[in-house]
């Protein structure tokens, strides 16, 4: 086995180290290495087998660095190692520095004296300290967390995916980018994450600047952040193409500005709810009452990217009334999405049932349609499916091959005998499935209906009261 080519060993190590839940990358499977403790322990053991095994396994061991402690001791050890072995820093592609304690004013212990000389040489070599940023002055005292994060990033020039804490003002990242031209120049995916253990944060100027310092940035991900106020970017100045918001809150003015600031958008995902009751965000954002953008405003904001958008997913926050009333009754007065037909390259759409009109208009490019939060036993979803099927038979959706309907199997409100006679009313999930499936009979569309039990939560424990 020792005589096998490096490429073969690399493939063997990669597949041997993947767990059952890991799916190898279709293009470059050997680049996607799990970072679980067990996998990292196995990689370390491989490094001890022989020098040849070490040469193959060590780059995999350093492919991903993930700081998840409270003290940043892992990051310090990581920085110390890369200062002594700069070549190892070139293997790092996924850098995650999100400590468990995300306080804005958390300080950590100063670097040991033996490390300060090494770091001083690093700072001077990169000309980071200009007398104002305080890089050198931070060494003998207790530096902030983002100081450690920036040092780790400087030592990993080939990072393509960067994950940082949304609760820590990233001043060092921005300052370093102005002084080191190659700093994080290969980052294509930026994740700004705020854990549930820390309060919701509002987008600030330094976080906004992070979106401008990466010349190859293509994807951005925000979690638990409020977006409103402020004109952070000029129109057409952002390069990111894939945008995802999770557990965020955004008003229409910010949405319009944010969409206009991008040159091109290919994928937009906005998911503001969770089934986990601890993550619910009912009511106004923490920084004051704001009105969240609605379905019609979402399409209006994205209309400037109608020639490039390929994936659209918007799932709005569930209100407290949702669990008591929405599942049994359909709100016909909810503001709906307008026509999607102007989005000529749109292939995938994921939306809530309540925000679709009875007769939606999708583009001819549509391939996958996912409709969430519906009662599969209610008549409105049957009517909507019937209209989509009619348009499909007319040839309006030649590429459509998959429809998924996800919701809750709940006994609906009583239906009058006349209405039941006029439109057959499904009595079970299986009957609903057969009824919808029959609408597309003779076509190539796969229909999937997924139902789950409705969650049972204590609403008093979920409602947020704005301060």
Q: Can you tell me the distance from the alpha carbon of 226 to that of 200, in angstroms, rounded to the nearest whole number?
A: 7
pLDDT at 151: 77
Domain enclosing residue 56, as ranges: 1-61
* Distance between CA atoms of residues 235 and 256, nearest Å: 10
Predicted pLDDT of residue 104: 44
263 found inside a domain: no
DSSP type of residue 272: -
Pair 216, 239: CB distance under 8 Å? yes
- In angstroms, how far is CA 49 from the centroid of its own chain? 38
Sheet with 249-250: strands ordered across: 201-202, 225-227, 249-250
* Host H or E run for residue 163: strand 161-165
Coil vs helix vs strand at 97 = strand
Say yes or no to pLDDT of 324 above 70: no
- What is the pLDDT at residue 130? 57
pLDDT at site 79: 85
pLDDT score of 27 more than 60: no
Alpha helices per DSSP H over 126-229:
135-138, 145-154, 171-179, 205-210
- C-alpha to C-alpha distances, 372 to 71, 324, 354, nearest whole angstrom: 41, 17, 9
By C-alpha distance, which of 356, 277, 345 is closest to 316? 356
Residue 378 main-chain phi, psi, to 5 deg: -90, 150
Q: What is the reported pLDDT for 100? A: 62
pLDDT at 197: 55
Please give the pLDDT value at position 459. 44
The DSSP result for 206-266, as a single string, is HHHHHTTS-TT--EEEEESEEE-S---S-TT-B---EEEEES-EEBHHHHHHHHHHBS--S
Closest among 287, 232, 222, 226 to 257, alpha carbons compared: 232
Counting residues of the chain whose pLDDT is more than 70, the rounded percentage is 65
Q: How far apart are CA 355 and CA 378, in angstroms?
A: 15
Q: Is residue 207 part of a domain?
A: no
What pLDDT is recorded for position 88?
Answer: 92
Distances (CA, A) of 340 to 311, 321, 383: 12, 29, 19
Token pair listed for 318: 């569930």
d(CA 331, CA 333): 5
8 A C-beta contact, residue 192 and residue 164: yes
* Residue bearing tokens 């000029």: 234
Q: Is the pLDDT of residue 84 over 60?
A: yes
158-211 per-position pLDDT tens digit: 999 988 877 665 566 666 666 666 777 899 999 988 765 555 677 777 778 878
Residue 72's region, left for phi above 0, alpha for psi from -120 to 50, else beta, is: left
Q: Is residue 448 part of a domain?
A: no
Give residue 217's pLDDT band: very low, low, confident or very high (50, 70, 90): very high
Per the prediction, the chain carries an average pLDDT of 76
199 close to 286: Cβ distance less than 8 angstroms: yes
Largest separation between any pair of C-alpha atoms in the chain: 86
User: What is the gyration radius of the CA atoms in the chain, in angstroms?
Assistant: 26
Does residue 342 sit within a domain?
A: no
**pLDDT tier at 101, thresholds 50, 70, 90:** low
Burial class (CB in 10 A: 0-12, 13-18, 19+), 205: exposed
pLDDT tens track for 218-232:
999 998 888 877 678
How far is 150 from 105, CA to CA, in rounded Å?
Answer: 17
What's the start-to-end Cα distance of the chain, in Å? 64
Question: Structurally, how many domains does the chain consist of?
Answer: 1
3 in a structural domain: yes
* DSSP per-residue string spanning 375-408: ETTSHHHHHHHHHHHHHHHTTS-TT--EEEEEEE
Q: What one-character-per-residue DSSP string does 13-36 give?
A: HHHHH--TT----SS-GGG-----
Q: What pLDDT digit, counting tens, does each position of 287-320 carry?
A: 566 788 889 999 999 999 999 999 999 987 655 4
6 falls within a domain: yes
Confirm whether 22 is domain-assigned: yes
> What distances in angstroms separate CA 355 from CA 291, 403, 417, one per listed residue?
17, 17, 28
- Give the tens place of pLDDT for each residue, 408-432: 655 554 444 444 444 455 556 677 7
In a domain, 18, yes or no: yes
pLDDT at 443: 87
Give dist(CA 342, CA 351) in Å, integer: 17
Q: What is the pLDDT of residues 119-171, one digit of tens each?
A: 777 777 776 655 545 666 666 554 556 667 777 888 888 999 988 877 665 56
């Amino acid at each position: 086995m020792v005589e096998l080519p490096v490429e073969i060993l690399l493939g063997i190590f990669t597949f041997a180290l993947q767990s059952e839940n890991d799916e190898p990358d279709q293009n470059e499977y050997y680049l996607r290495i799990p970072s679980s403790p067990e996998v990292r322990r196995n990689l370390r053991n491989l490094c001890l087998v022989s020098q040849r095994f070490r040469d193959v396994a060590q780059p995999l061991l350093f492919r991903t660095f993930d700081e998840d402690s409270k003290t940043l001791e892992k990051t310090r050890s990581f920085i110390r190692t890369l200062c002594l072995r700069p070549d190892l820093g070139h293997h790092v592609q996924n850098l995650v520095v999100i400590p468990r304690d995300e306080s804005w004013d958390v300080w950590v212990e100063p670097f040991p004296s033996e490390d300060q000389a090494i770091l001083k040489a690093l700072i001077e070599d990169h000309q980071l300290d200009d007398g104002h940023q305080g890089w050198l002055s931070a060494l003998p005292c207790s530096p902030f967390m983002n100081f450690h994060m920036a040092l780790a990033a400087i030592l990993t020039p080939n990072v393509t995916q960067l994950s940082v804490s949304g609760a820590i003002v990233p001043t060092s990242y921005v300052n370093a980018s102005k002084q080191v031209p190659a700093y994080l120049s290969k980052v294509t995916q930026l994740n700004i994450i705020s854990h549930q253990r820390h309060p919701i944060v509002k987008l600030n100027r330094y976080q906004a600047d992070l979106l401008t310092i990466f010349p190859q940035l293509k994807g951005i991900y925000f979690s638990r952040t409020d977006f409103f106020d402020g004109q952070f970017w000029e129109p057409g100045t952002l390069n990111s193409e894939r945008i995802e918001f999770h557990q965020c809150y955004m008003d229409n003015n910010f949405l319009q500005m944010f969409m206009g600031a991008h040159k091109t958008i290919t994928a937009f995902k906005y998911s503001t709810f969770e089934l986990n009751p601890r993550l619910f965000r009912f009511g106004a954002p923490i920084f004051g009452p704001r009105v969240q953008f609605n379905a019609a405003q979402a399409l209006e904001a994205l209309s400037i990217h109608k020639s490039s958008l390929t994936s659209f997913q918007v799932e709005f926050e569930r209100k407290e009334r949702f669990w008591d009333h929405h599942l049994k009754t359909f709100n016909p007065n909810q503001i709906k999405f307008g026509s999607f037909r102007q989005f000529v390259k749109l292939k995938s759409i994921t939306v809530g049932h309540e925000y679709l009109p009875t007769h939606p208009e999708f583009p001819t490019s549509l391939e996958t349609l996912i409709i969430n939060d519906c009662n599969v036993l209610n008549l409105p979803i049957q009517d909507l499916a019937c209209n989509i099927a009619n348009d499909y038979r007319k040839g309006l959706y030649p590429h459509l091959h998959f429809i998924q309907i996800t919701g809750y199997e709940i006994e609906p409100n009583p239906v009058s005998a006349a209405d039941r006679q006029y439109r057959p009313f499904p009595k079970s999930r299986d009957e609903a499935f057969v009824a919808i499936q029959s609408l597309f009979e003779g076509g190539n569309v796969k229909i999937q209906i997924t139902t789950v039990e409705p969650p049972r939560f204590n609403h008093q424990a979920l409602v947020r009261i704005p301060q």
